[in-house]
Chain A
Amino acid sequence: MNSRTGALRAAFPVTVPVLFGYIAIGIPFGLMLVKAGYPWWLAPVMSVLMYAGAGQYIAVGLFAANAPLSGIVLTTLMVNIRHIVYGLSLIDRFRDTGKWKPYLIFSLTDETYALLTGVKVPDTVKPASFYGSIALLDHAYWIAGSLIGALAGEYIPFSFAGIDFALTALFAVLLIDQLRRTKDLYPALLGMACATVALVLIGPQQMLLAALASALAILVLTRGRQK
């Protein structure tokens, strides 16, 4: 068994929740795009190049409304600017990832970030190829989901609503695992509190950036000087 298939085999089990989640939310995206009047192949093209769940859903809405390019670009920036927070905590982890590094940066979604920071690398595989395999598998699931939705979404007789709860459960499980390791409730509770306040004050559409920015600011103020 060569090292690449070894890394893929090690990575696959931890990505299974994302497989279900991405198929479940990729299908409605592909279906929406086709229903908005675009050819089926635009769905996988967007999933390959953009690879951002919320960003692609919002793009369909902006296309349907014939929004100007400047508005599209600015909205995309606001929706995805949270990625900066993710990257800030991965600079060390990605330092020795070699040829995988550009792809790891390109493919950094919420779910991939959660897996990369929450799952322990098995002793048998190199961290770089383990991380790369997780990122590659997640990306493939997302492309597959949007392609299925665009080509066959109308013919799928049952609803995928509810299966995407697997992603909520994934975040909860990775959170519990992190708390088990760190024995430190504070960062998680701070994140939940900031998210709740942001949800109540500014609503579901805009909450993510405000929650992450305020929680990061409070972390810097309260933990910035501790050992």
Chain B
Amino acid sequence: MTPLIDALIAVPCMALVILATRAFPFILFSHRDPPPVLRFVERFIPPMVMGVLVVYCLKDIQWTAWPSGIGELAALAAVTGLHLWKKNAMLSIFGGTAFFMVLRTFLA
């Protein structure tokens, strides 16, 4: 285990690295305009990131062992169905999460 004093040095170092990754694009383009290619592409980035993050949330599922992600996929289908139907974000998110937690206990 890292001694506490070393951990206390490491934490601000990690914080600075994380801040640097967040600030990098803003510093890079603070005094000049982003290249045109970025202007065309930037509005497509949020839906692309959202697609990546939805798959990322499913990354730890053991597909080859029971219940093979059935709970997650069924709940995600419920969220999608609810949201297309009722268009109420709270209902879709918490309805889907409640459904997932119920499925979890039955599939365990």
Q: Which of B2, B24, B46 contacts A67 (CB 8 A)?
A: B2
Q: Which of A55, A168, A219 contacts B76 (CB 8 A)?
A: A168
Main DSSP-derived SS at the B contact region = helix
User: Please, which residues of chain A bring their CB within 8 A of the CB of B17?
Assistant: 73, 76-77, 80
Q: Which of B8, B11, B72 contacts A165 (CB 8 A)?
A: B72
What is the CA–CA distance of A161 and B86 in the complex, to the nearest angstrom?
27
Give chain B interface residues in 73-106, CB to chain A under 8 Å. Answer: 75-76, 79-80, 83-84, 89-90, 92-94, 96-97, 100-101, 104
Decide if B46 touches A89 in the complex (CB within 8 Å).
Answer: yes
User: Please, which residues of chain A bring their CB within 8 A of the CB of B15?
Assistant: 49-50
Question: Could you tell me which A residues sit within 8 Å of B by CB distance?
Answer: 13-14, 16-17, 20, 36-39, 42, 45-46, 49-52, 55, 59, 62-64, 66-67, 69, 72-73, 76-77, 80-92, 94, 101, 105-106, 108, 110, 113-114, 117-118, 161-163, 165-179, 182, 184, 186-192, 194-196, 199, 204, 207-208, 211-212, 215-216, 219-220, 223-227
Q: A37-B1, A42-B7, A77-B21 are in contact. List 11 more A-B contacts (CB 8 A).
A: A38-B7, A88-B34, A88-B38, A117-B46, A162-B97, A169-B94, A172-B80, A173-B92, A190-B48, A216-B48, A223-B41
16 interchain pairs (CB within 8 A)?
Answer: A63-B1, A64-B2, A77-B17, A77-B21, A117-B46, A162-B101, A165-B97, A169-B92, A169-B100, A173-B89, A175-B54, A176-B84, A178-B46, A190-B51, A192-B52, A216-B41
Question: Could you tell me which B residues sit within 8 Å of A by CB distance?
Answer: 1-2, 4, 6-15, 17-19, 21-26, 29, 34, 37-38, 40-60, 72, 75-76, 79-80, 83-84, 89-90, 92-94, 96-97, 100-101, 104
